[in-house]
Amino acid sequence: MARAAVQRRLTWRRGRVTRRVDETPRVRTLVLALEEDWPGHLAGQHVDVRLTAEDGYQAQRSYSIASAPEDVGQLAITVERIGDGEVSPYLVDELTEGDQLEFRGPIGGYFVWDETPGGPLLLVAGGSGICPLMAMIRHRAARGSRVPTRLLYSSRSLEDVIYREEVDLLAARSDGLEVFHTLTRDRPAGWTGYARRIDLEMLTEVGWRPDEGPLGFVCGPTPLVEAVAEALVQLGWSPDRVKTERFGPTGG
């Protein structure tokens, strides 16, 4: 039975694009309607997406699932356009509602969250690294969880903040979700938030104390993830309570 479940996850499926959401000038969310045999996913998992050209050439990329597991029958992936990429420009600029997209999954079992691990939650994201963390935030909201949660999100500018309005609305529910932004390049007039890369001092101010038994998820470019994970351990966090997922240049 376990082998059959793995085979189902690794089977290529087709989803129909039912909605496109403009998140930023370079980022789009694609919402797919799924086939009935979709096994469901955990918050933090990803899927592989495959494009096939008319001449048979194929390109494949991995994208985190941004939707909550409770969104039965649909799946959302959020894609940032890479200028010279093979896949992301097509997904962001050309794929339209009604088109089919080939994918397989869900994939991954380490970088996932539900309410069972306990402890307050620290989510640290850089750029599009927010995507799997957004699935966790949406899952938390769908379950009505009040697990104390802090999101520390590093972006180049306010315009580059993905899911900005939704995150603000969820934080305004006053159910234990706190959101902290740091803008590393451009800031609007009157900006009072952080204005630098995430560092030890920032994590000391935003993060939970080690004696509170926190659980951390860090996702983003490799340099950010490594720096944050190292800093949290330096602050006394147990390494096995700091889960990381990183990405780097892949050709998009």
Can you tell me whether residue 234 is helix, strand or coil?
helix
130 and 94 belong to one structural domain:
no
Task: Kindly tell me if the per-residue pLDDT of 4 is higher than 60.
Answer: no
CA–CA separation, 48 and 93 (whole Å): 19
Inside any domain, residue 19 = yes
141 and 222 belong to one structural domain:
yes
pLDDT digits (tens, 9 = 90+) for 171-182: 999 999 999 999
Neighbours of 199 (CB within 10 A): 13
Quick one: what percent of the chain has pLDDT higher than 70?
94
12 and 103 belong to one structural domain:
yes
Does the CA dihedral 193-140-237-132 come out positive or negative?
Answer: negative
Residue 157, domain CATH: 3.40.50.80
Inside any domain, residue 115 = no
Q: Give the total number of structural domains in the chain.
A: 2
Domain's final residue, options 85, 107, 129? 107
94 and 130 belong to one structural domain:
no
* Residues sharing a CB contact under 8 Å with residue 157, sequence separation 6 or more, in sequence order: 183, 185, 186, 187
Residue 66, domain CATH: 2.40.30.10
Q: Read off the amino acid at residue 31.
A: V
How big is the chain by its Cα radius of gyration, in Å?
18
Inside any domain, residue 69 = yes
pLDDT digits (tens, 9 = 90+) for 5-34: 455 568 899 999 999 999 999 999 999 999
170 and 226 belong to one structural domain:
yes
Q: How far is residue 190 from each of residues 161, 186, 187, 193, 195, measured CA to CA in Å?
A: 17, 12, 8, 9, 12
Inside any domain, residue 114 = no
Of the pLDDT bands very low, low, confident and very high (cuts 50, 70, 90), residue 248 is: low
- List, edge to edge, every strand of the sheet that includes 100-107: 58-64, 46-52, 100-107, 13-24, 27-33, 74-80
129 and 242 belong to one structural domain:
yes
Neighbours of 89 (CB within 10 A): 15
CA–CA separation, 195 and 42 (whole Å): 33
134 and 91 belong to one structural domain:
no
In 3D space, the residue among 114, 88, 126 whose CA is nearest the CA of residue 244 turns out to be 126
Domain's final residue, options 107, 129, 164? 107
pLDDT digits (tens, 9 = 90+) for 159-215: 999 999 999 999 999 999 999 999 999 999 999 999 999 999 999 999 999 999 999
**The domain containing residue 222 runs over which residues?**
121-247
CA–CA separation, 250 and 85 (whole Å): 8
129 and 232 belong to one structural domain:
yes
Domain's final residue, options 78, 107, 136? 107
CB 49 within 8 A of CB 76: no
